[in-house]
Amino acid sequence: MSAHAVRTGVWFIGARGSVATTATAGCAAVTAGLHPAAGMVTETTPFADSGLPALNSLVFGGHDTVDCPLPKRAEALAAGGVLPHGLPPAVRSELATADTEIRPGGPLPGDTRTDEELIAAFTADLTDFGRRNGLARTVVVNVASTEPVPEPGQHRLPASSLYAAAALRAGCPYINFTPSTGLGAPALQDAVAACGLPHAGRDGKTGQTLLRSVLAPMFVQRALPVRAWSGTNLLGGGDGAALADPGAAAAKNAGKERVLADTLGVTPEGEVHIDDVPALGDWKTAWDHIAFDGFLGARMVLQTTWQGCDSALAAPLVLDLARLLARAQEVGLTGPRPELGFYFKDPDGGPAALSEQYLQLLTFAERLRGQK
């Protein structure tokens, strides 16, 4: 059976959020030839004939705790400049179809269900989704808001881990595109080891950290000692509101700082600050100030400014990952997939320069191409 004849599910945790809505609308737009696949690495030449599921074979669904319909959410994103003007009505049918496949998430305030009851309910949603749509497989992708790091001694699993446990139980490959705990909960480690499923994460590398992962190796390779590296993020929308929580911000910043420490070999002075600016909507500005030493101790500074939309940066990567992990399961690959570290701040394979990670990804594509 050809890749075009096989239907593959993409199940978003946070299915009505900006990233998931952009990915769902974007997939429909690219499939219809309305827009090019800018930002999708899997649509470039090295990935041709790798057996990846075709974009027109993807079926979208997910969990969310909000009830704003996807077509309406897409209209709001278009009004904010995230989606092109006129795109939501052009792909309204696809968005409405995906919206019928979104199920209530949890736990909501006042929810009395136990962890086991929640996992069982989420598993049933995944199993039903696959059965009704005749899917060969379903990839679960966490693109929900960042959670605070769990408190020591916390007995309940965080929501991200409840969804991750359901993915394992339903036999679904899992991607954690957020800094949240997901499969990392200690209580899930035996299940993760025994699941026989491919998985990848954690925390998608889209804007400021992407730039850091390119610049930090430059300083190392040119033997330029970095004395300090400070950063500020100004952002609005759902991310801004979520990261206004100090615990969530700490979880997010840990990945940004780890990229520098792992690459430079030391932790430079300076911190990353995240400020919620609601007026920015789904757009963000990230500023970095890098102090470094040149020859004979000459003091120098590099400043960078990144202005963009995380949803538009993340959506093509999420589609890439869903296709790659679906193909990995198809050919029998299991466990953490370090070859996908190119996409993450905290990858399963450990730190590496972005250029090195890209070569690993190309090798992975070649490996998939060689599988029948």
State the average pLDDT over residues 131-148. Answer: 96
Average pLDDT rounded to a whole number, residues 162-190 = 97
Alpha helices in the chain (DSSP H): 18-31, 70-79, 87-90, 92-99, 115-133, 159-170, 189-194, 208-221, 237-243, 246-264, 310-330, 354-369
Please give the residue that has the higher pLDDT: either 342 or 352: 342
pLDDT above 80: residue 257: no
Q: Indicate if the pLDDT at residue 70 is higher than 90.
A: yes
Give me the pLDDT at residue 256, please: 65
pLDDT at site 327: 98
pLDDT of residue 1: 38
Q: Is the pLDDT of residue 263 over 90?
A: no
pLDDT level of residue 282 (50, 70, 90 thresholds): confident
Q: Looking at residues 251-259, what average pLDDT do you find?
A: 67
In the numeric block, which tokens belong to residue 160?
A: 């991200």
Cβ 57 vs Cβ 8: under 8 Å: yes
The residue among 241 and 300 whose pLDDT is bigger is 300
> Strand 283-293 vs strand 226-235: parallel, antiparallel, or unpaired?
antiparallel
Q: Which residue has the higher pLDDT, 311 or 256?
A: 311
Evaluate if residue 144 carries a pLDDT over 60.
yes
Order the strands of the 58-64 sheet from edge to edge.
Answer: 102-104, 58-64, 8-13, 137-142, 174-176, 198-201, 335-336
- The predicted model gives 327-341 an average pLDDT of 97
Q: Check if the beta carbon of residue 232 is closer than 8 Å to that of residue 276.
A: no
336-358 average pLDDT score: 87
Q: Is 112 exposed, middle or buried (0-12, 13-18, 19+ CB in 10 A)?
A: exposed
User: Structure tokens of 45?
Assistant: 């030449």
Q: What is the mean pLDDT of residues 219-230?
A: 95
- 3-class DSSP state of 215: helix
Q: Which residues pair with 10 in a beta bridge?
A: 60, 139
Q: Which H or E run contains 9?
A: strand 8-13
Q: What's the chain's average pLDDT? A: 92
Is residue 184 pLDDT above 80, yes or no?
yes
pLDDT at 355 over 90: no
